[in-house]
Structure 1
Amino acid sequence: MKRTTAPQEATSAEPRLYRVVSNRIEDLIREENIQPGERLPSERDLSTKLGVSRTSLREALIALELGGIVEVHGGSGVYVSEPAPAHKNGPAAGPGPFEVLAARRMIEVEVAALAAKNATAAGIDAILVAVEQMEQDYQDRDANETADRNFHLAIARASGNSALVGVVEYLWNQRGTLWHKLKEHFQTEELRQQTLIDHRNILSAIASHDVAGAKQAMRAHLDRVTRTFSRG
């Protein structure tokens, strides 16, 4: 029997866009001889110059910061921290934060709708516990994030589809160093407070078995996060 060739592994795929953009920024630093301590062009100008979106550019700049190439100063700009070396340690390979947010918007909106349709009393209680824990741990960033994760997983469990629980958990686990650095720079207190309101709205729709309302509330929440992280 003729043996077939196994499909090519995902690890040999094209580099992530933010890595391609980060390499182009390093080239620009060298070509324009931008010295340590000097500021790079604005995000708007860099985006135009490189022909890439602001979100891809922002991911690339955060990756370069993690690699020790630039320093991102909120409200001031991006500065070269040292000449671009031949080799550096950056974030682990994986999707960028905005890729993850886009995937979550596609999937979790429908998961919320399914939860509104199928949630049992116990499932709704589990979502409520996560919301209350997030509110209680508001000042403790790590505990607050754990409660945030539990909230989204509780919704997936309430959907009644165990495969979706695995998908939501996988997407949450993609929030690596690049995500947390982006969050450190661009998350606002307004977004943190609004997230609590968003979660209450999502819970309310699911508890009322309002399918359309659950979809709308989850979409509004994830859109708000995306806008906050991408605005300049």
Structure 2
Amino acid sequence: MRVHFIVHEAFEAPGCYEKWAHDRLHTVTYSRLHVGERLPATPDRIDLLVVMGGPQSPATTTAECPHFDAVREMALIADCAAAGKAVVGVCLGAQLLGEALGAPSLPSPEPEIGSFPVTLTEAGLRHPLFHGFDETFDSGHWHHDMPGLTADATVLAASPGCPRQIVAYGRLLYGFQCHMEFDPDIVNGLIASAEKELALLEGRPFVQVPERLRSNDHCEANHLLELFLDRLAAACAAA
């Protein structure tokens, strides 16, 4: 399987997504936009596109962030979807996926930074890619916004701070507002990049302090993410 990662910033690394791809011996390629690597021109050499997060929003312009071209990214995402490729968008990536399919992103009711439970909806509990998951499980979070919903999108998981944690846009198209890929290195990088943000948000109900952020265990979320990705890969092979 050919897995391509779009990475916007070094501190928004693919984490468990990348580990899964290498452990399963998939062919892995990258567009590390923060170091000047380009987006693929077409989806021809991609089976699974994974679009990572970042401090940008779908409305961020190239004047504001020269290495981030939301219009080109959304065009690639739309091309992948039209070609029957699998797409997983994470945080910003989930918002770009929704926008590429015609659904504008929105502010989340609450910012979430830390590890908090997400709960599968009835649709999530019935979904074959989430079969056997606990109804509620802990996941990492680091966001202010959430993905939009197309007319045929299905919300698979929600949290007290955000009603759109996992969204299915199609059989092979998924947006994860939550960060099930987190590991200690990613969390430390995010903390270092967001000192002012964390200070401004201190005391909000779903924002944890750096000491707590560093102590969170993401192993169970990683395991569940790998299970989901194995099933997604099988669905791609059967398509």
TM, length-normalised to structure 1:
0.25
Larger strand proportion of the pair: 2
Higher gyration radius (CA): 1
User: Larger % of helix: which?
Assistant: 1
